[in-house]
Amino acid sequence: MMKYSKEQMLDMYEKMVLSRVYEETVIDFLGEGKIQGGAWHLAIGEEAAQTGCLSALGPNDFLEPTFRCHGLMATKMDINKFTAECLCRSTGYQRGISAIVHLTCIDEKIIPANGILGAGMPIAVGYAVSLKRRKKDAVVVAMIGDGASNEGNFYEAINMAGIMEAPIVFFIENNGIGFTNPISNATRAQDLSAKGTAVGIPGVTVDGNDVLAVREAVEAAIKKAKEGIPSIVEAKTVRLRPHAEGLSVETRDPKYIEEAKKNDPIMRYEKVLKELDVLNDKKISEIYANMKKLSVDAFEFGFASPYPSKKDLCDEGLVFKTIGGELL
């Protein structure tokens, strides 16, 4: 018997497809010269890891994303406002001031992303401790990449979380390479979830291309977090694009990428859903078409929006008003 309803499973699939199609739309607009490269760190190939993680959160739980979450945030937030923010337009969540790097919206349970690798981890612990002290029935799930797990901030954060029994889950999205540096060149650890052992917190490693396995692992970790046991969930996956569109070229062997495509998380999940009679080819085509329209319309909304005014750019009160404040 499946743990999740057909509606829940279909919802995860739709979010995975939207994430993929949204980021493919980014590539289209980059190719047409309508947007600039450099800031678009795409997660194509990582949809199961990201969607599985996000879908495990309850309505009161907070997420700290990374800057490799464009498609994911398009499924979580208002897609028009999110896209406008990515395009630095005044109709975005922070009136075009933050873009993706410092994106936040406390109302939607998104705590500030951070442009410095690993630097968001101690901040996320602070949010989690605040939730605990306010006796909120909520946790923080803080996302991080494999490369950032080698930063000092990460070790300090997991140590502090353990000491303070913070309601937090550290989610490591291990795509096997940090910028152009393979994980094997960065650490001897076979499983990054084992890094919690040094500070006395548990960890688990799962197949990051299996959306159901990821969701179950994060749900279990959230349950532990609410009991005062922070932990690490590592999802092993592969990104199918370079580090950042228009910023870096692919340094990995093309054969490696082609082999990874055989384990495409969306195609894998489609097989599961077809066997359960949740999906068929017609439904798949309809979903892709709908998600493409959503994505293109969101960018058109952003393109049609004005850039922020000088007043907005220079008003410190407005800048800091959106970065956090009270935890609801």
Vertex 304: Cα angle to 298 and 308 (nearest 5) = 105
> pLDDT by residue (tens digit) across 192-230?
999 999 999 999 999 999 999 999 999 999 999 999 999
Q: What is d(CA 143, CA 121) in angstroms, rounded to the nearest whole number?
A: 8
Strands (E), 77-152: 140-145
pLDDT over 90 (residue 262): yes
CB count within 10 Å of CB 186 equals 15
DSSP strand pairing (140-145 vs 62-64): parallel
Q: 171 pLDDT band (50/70/90 cuts)?
A: very high
CB count within 10 Å of CB 5 equals 10
Nearest to 75 by CA among 287, 326, 233: 287
Q: Which residues contact 304 (CB under 8 A, 6 or more apart)?
A: none
Q: What is d(CA 292, CA 24) in angstroms, rounded to the nearest whole number?
A: 9
Strands (E), 10-137: 62-64
> pLDDT by residue (tens digit) across 228-241?
999 999 999 999 99
Q: What's the confidence (pLDDT) of residue 129?
A: 97
Element (H, E) at 178: strand 177-178
> pLDDT by residue (tens digit) across 281-321?
999 999 999 999 999 999 999 999 999 988 878 876 665 56
